[in-house]
Amino acid sequence: MALEPASYPIIRLGTRRSPLAMAQAREVRARLCTAHEWPEEAVELIEVQASGDKVQDRPLSEIGGKALWTKELDLWLADGTIDAAVHSAKDVETIRPDALAFAAVLPRADRRDCLIGAASIADLPKGAKLGTSAPRRAAQLLHLRPDLEVVMFRGNVATRLSKLQAGEADATFLAAAGLERLGETGVGTALDPSEFLPAAGQGAIVVEVMAGSRVEGFFSELNDIPTAAELKVERALLAALGGTCHSPVAVLCEWTDGLLDVRASIFSEDGAERVDGAERFDATEPGAEEGIARDLLNRASPKIRQHFNGAS
């Protein structure tokens, strides 16, 4: 029997308009309605075209950084147009306004990068062009294959695949989680995350609300403790490094029975220099990521440190 409208709240869930963002918002809605035994109409999806989706011919670092994915939804949260916003965790700025809070971090999907256009990085022909706008991917690739050429690729999954098809590059990278959420399984080659480290937050979805809002508690049942612990450390590490959208940094953080294994790498922009660090610590241990950041920066050359402003 259908519930009466008065027996459940109406939650307005904000999302970017891209196909992947919509898929993520539908996943949040489905999980929320299942957790509370609500009908689908209890959660209204409200779409916005983010600034980052409007300009696709320049890297984010040149036009405002990650804030271009969040600023419209931040404004809607502040003025009450929406009750909550759905984000890809890797697209959320490291430093967020105090008035906002993560109400839930969903269980992490596949955190790996997929190489599209070749069976492996080693199989790419000498001098091949690889399309990406991510400093992490570009630097990590060039560290492995300095003979390759990186060309700027931006846009949603379909846009980047069409650019590849049109011959603008020989290969590109896409996040395995995004492909999975769009039903594009079997596309490309998933790279071993211990060899080609992912971005902080890759594969995770977060729900953000105004701190203390009426809806915050509704999302608590969706929160995945291991993923939330991993994400907290990954974001704290970025903050300790002073990383920005210009910074070539990769991090792999994995939870096992309350322990976190962290591997991180920072690079020079051209990939010629790389500094690696690793640490295992209890998930409840505060500030451990600051020691990792300090160690990485202390061993880095000025060529790497210029992309970070953390304390050395």
Q: Give the C-alpha separation, 196 to 137, whole Å.
A: 9
| Neighbour count for residue 76 (Cβ, 10 Å) | 17
**In whole angstroms, how far apart are CA 289 and each of 44, 95, 129, 192, 265?**
38, 16, 35, 23, 13
Amino acid at 105: V
Which secondary-structure segment (H or E) carries 12? Answer: strand 11-16
113 tagged catalytic = no
Scanning 80-220, the segments in alpha helix (DSSP H) are 135-144, 157-165, 176-181
> Which one of the listed residues 74, 83, 91, 110 is annotated catalytic?
91
| Neighbour count for residue 100 (Cβ, 10 Å) | 19
Q: Give the C-alpha separation, 199 to 230, whole Å.
A: 12
HEC-encoded secondary structure of 169-209: CCEEEEEHHHHHHCCCCCCCEECCCCCCCCCCCCCCEEEEE
Beta pairing, strands 113-116 & 100-105 = unpaired
Please name the residue that has the structure tokens 């980047």.
160
Q: Give the C-alpha separation, 224 to 267, whole Å.
A: 31
Question: Which distant-in-sequence residues (6+ apart) come within 8 Å of 212 by Cβ?
Answer: 101
Residues carrying an active site annotation: 91
